């Protein structure tokens, strides 16, 4: 547009990239929203993006911030340090987990995380609710109340003794989520397989971090994903399989999607860039690379890249679970802890997008449009962030400006989190976010934080849009084929 309006801020000279297009335009911002696209726009403040790419700000939708584990360990990042690291990595919004533990109510859980987040984050935020104790009150009162306050995604675990739900509880949660238009997320691994192998490894004296990998076989993921998809199909509910780490698991997601089921998939940076060989390091160094599901191998990386390219995975995340390599984190159970006693998880919130850009766009594996979708747009649509994830008039001015030629060597000191290591130490990446805006205000610019903690606001999210997914109608629940029985969804 050739406008006469004076905008608060204008981004000029850049190449705008969305999930569908690439074009040259100025972006006019007023009142925290994008209010103009065109050429020759003028503003009170100008950001020169000449030679750079202007993309939707990243949305990191799988991270553990200020969260206790079921055994009491606390992640090292709070909403201040976690959001700052996310912002330096090109993100303008994130959605950490709020973890209900057994004996806690959902309302109590969300109030607790409100107290941890409010006034601390530098970027906008929401929550995914982890449900570990689906009591009758939780199912009938507190989950609907959580949805009403804009928490529209619920996560369950099929593993971990203190967190997992059984199949019937899983069905109850899926049903409540479906009724209210929420998305259920699942950590899918077979708990029995993992505990059976782990006990035998330990009994034979195999306790080092490297044995974490064989204790979580690929079959454990494939079986659990198959079961989770079957449960979701029974009640025709939307389900996201998080951190898929195997070709078999990805294939199950792809098959279900092709059949029209309301199934979505996610993979994470560590499964594309690291392998189980990283666990086999001297002493306890391998503990730095322990996560669940575990790192796999190079053929698996190749298969996951193909699924990323083909659209099996709607979202690409960091699963940032920061535990320091000391007695507060990985070594909380002592310097000789067994692989079963070491906290699972690794940091990566600030490197998700630089790694994907460098290894994906830079090496010709994905297009710029796919990068925009995987970094931001897909997560916005899947998780109901209606005002984010795109560069269009009326959207929040959440924008990341990338220098596609800037080369960095990764160091822990540059991650801005509260960690003492990065699993990607020494990696060379090309392409870096140099300016990040949340609602039109520069959060990161010139290599420095430009806002105070508290700039980020809580974002209430809307229901999932399942347009184009016919779903699955189980004949056993259909009155037309089950002798007229009406079974509540």
Q: CATH number of the domain at 126, please.
A: 3.20.20.140
User: Is residue 334 packed enough to be buried (19+ CB in 10 Å), middle (13-18) or exposed (0-12)?
Assistant: exposed
> With pLDDT > 70 as the criterion, what percentage of the chain qualifies?
99
The 10 Å CB-count burial string (b at 16+, else e) for 73-106 is bbbbbbbbbbbbbbbbbbbbbbbbbbbbbeeeeb
The predicted-structure confidence for 8-61, as pLDDT tens digits, reads as follows 999 999 999 999 999 999 999 999 999 999 999 999 999 999 999 999 999 999
Average pLDDT over residues 233-244: 98
Give 7's strand partners: 43
User: Does 454 fall in a domain?
Assistant: no
Judge whether 194 lies within some domain. yes
pLDDT tier, 71 (very low <50, low <70, confident <90, very high otherwise): confident
Taking CB atoms within 8 Å and a gap of at least 24, the contacts of 475-479 are: 477/234, 477/235
The stretch 244-252 carries a mean pLDDT of 98
Asked if the structure places residue 21 within a domain, the reply is no
Query: Can you give the pLDDT at residue 1?
Result: 42
**Inside any domain, residue 298:** yes
Residue-level pLDDT at 415: 97
Q: What is the pTM assigned to this prediction?
A: 0.97
Expressed in angstroms, the distance from the first to the final Cα of the chain is: 49
Question: How many structural domains compose the chain?
Answer: 1
pLDDT for the residue numbered 292: 97
Q: What is the mean pLDDT of the chain?
A: 97
The answer to whether 245 and 179 are in contact (CB under 8 A) is no
Indicate if the pLDDT at residue 489 is higher than 80. no
Give tens-digit pLDDT for 1-22.
Answer: 444 679 999 999 999 999 999 9
What pLDDT does residue 358 have? 98
Instruction: Over range 440-457, report the average pLDDT.
Output: 98
Distance CA 412, CA 423 (A): 9
421 falls within a domain: no
pLDDT band at 70 (very low <50, low <70, confident <90, very high): confident
Domain assignment present for residue 307? The answer is: yes
Residue 422 is predicted with a pLDDT of 98
Range of the domain at 338: 57-374
Helix (H, G, I), strand (E, B) or coil at 390: coil
Q: Considering the domain boundaries, does residue 426 fall inside one?
A: no
Residue 422 lies in a domain: no
Residue 487: the pLDDT is 84
- 345: nearest Cα among 332, 359, 358, 360: 332
CA angle 286, 79, 103 (to 5 degrees): 80
Mean pLDDT over 246-272 rounds to 98
Per-residue tokens: 340: 């079963």
Q: What is the pLDDT of residues 349-392, one digit of tens each?
A: 999 999 999 999 999 999 999 999 999 999 999 999 999 999 99
Q: What is the model's pLDDT at position 4?
A: 61
Confidence label for 189 from pLDDT (cuts 50, 70 and 90): very high
Tell me the average pLDDT across 211-225. Answer: 98
Distance (Å, whole) CA 436 – CA 47 = 11
Nearest to 264 by CA among 254, 274, 273, 272: 254
Share of the chain above pLDDT 90, in %: 97
């Amino acid at each position: 547009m050739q406008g006469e309006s004076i905008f608060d801020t204008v981004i000029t000279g850049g190449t705008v990239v969305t999930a569908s297009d690439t074009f040259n335009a100025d972006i006019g911002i007023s009142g925290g929203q994008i209010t103009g696209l065109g050429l020759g726009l003028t503003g009170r403040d100008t950001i020169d993006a000449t030679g750079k790419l202007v993309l939707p700000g990243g949305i990191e939708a799988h991270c553990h911030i200020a969260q206790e584990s079921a055994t009491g360990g606390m992640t090292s990042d709070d909403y201040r340090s976690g959001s700052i690291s996310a912002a330096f990595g090109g993100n303008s919004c994130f959605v950490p987990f709020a973890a209900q533990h057994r004996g806690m109510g959902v309302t109590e859980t969300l109030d607790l995380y409100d107290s941890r987040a409010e006034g601390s984050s530098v970027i906008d935020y929401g929550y995914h609710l982890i449900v570990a104790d689906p009591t009758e009150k939780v199912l009938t009162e507190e989950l609907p109340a959580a949805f009403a306050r804009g928490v529209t995604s619920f996560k369950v675990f099929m593993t971990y003794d203190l967190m997992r739900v059984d199949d019937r509880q899983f069905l109850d949660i899926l049903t409540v989520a479906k009724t209210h238009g929420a998305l259920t997320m699942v950590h899918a691994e077979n708990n029995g397989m993992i505990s059976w192998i782990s006990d035998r490894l330990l009994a034979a004296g195999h306790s080092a971090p490297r044995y974490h990998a064989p204790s979580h076989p690929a079959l454990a993921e494939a079986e659990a994903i198959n079961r989770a998809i079957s449960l979701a199909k029974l009640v025709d509910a939307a389900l996201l399989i998080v951190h898929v780490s195997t070709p078999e698991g990805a294939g199950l997601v792809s098959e279900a999607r092709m059949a029209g089921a309301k199934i979505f998939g996610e993979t994470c940076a560590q499964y594309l860039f690291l392998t189980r060989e990283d666990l086999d390091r001297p002493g306890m160094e391998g503990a730095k690379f322990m996560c669940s599901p575990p790192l796999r191998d190079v053929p698996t990386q190749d298969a996951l890249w193909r699924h990323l390219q083909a659209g099996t995975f709607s979202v690409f995340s960091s699963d940032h679970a920061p535990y320091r390599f000391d007695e507060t984190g990985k070594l909380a159970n002592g310097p000789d802890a067994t692989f079963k006693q070491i906290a699972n998880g690794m940091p990566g919130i600030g490197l998700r997008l630089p790694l994907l850009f460098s290894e994906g766009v830079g090496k010709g594996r994905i297009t710029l449009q796919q990068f925009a979708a995987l970094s931001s747009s897909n997560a916005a649509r899947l998780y109901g962030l209606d005002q984010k994830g795109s560069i269009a008039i009326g959207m929040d001015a959440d924008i990341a400006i990338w220098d596609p030629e800037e080369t960095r060597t990764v160091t822990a000191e540059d991650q801005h989190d509260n960690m003492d290591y990065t699993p990607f130490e020494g990696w060379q990446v090309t392409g870096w976010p140099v300016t990040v805006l949340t609602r039109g205000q520069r959060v990161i610019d010139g290599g420095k934080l430009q806002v105070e903690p508290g700039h980020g606001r809580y974002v209430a999210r809307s229901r999932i849009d399942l347009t184009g997914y016919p779903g699955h109608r189980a004949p056993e629940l259909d009155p037309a084929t089950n002798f007229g029985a009406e079974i509540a969804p």
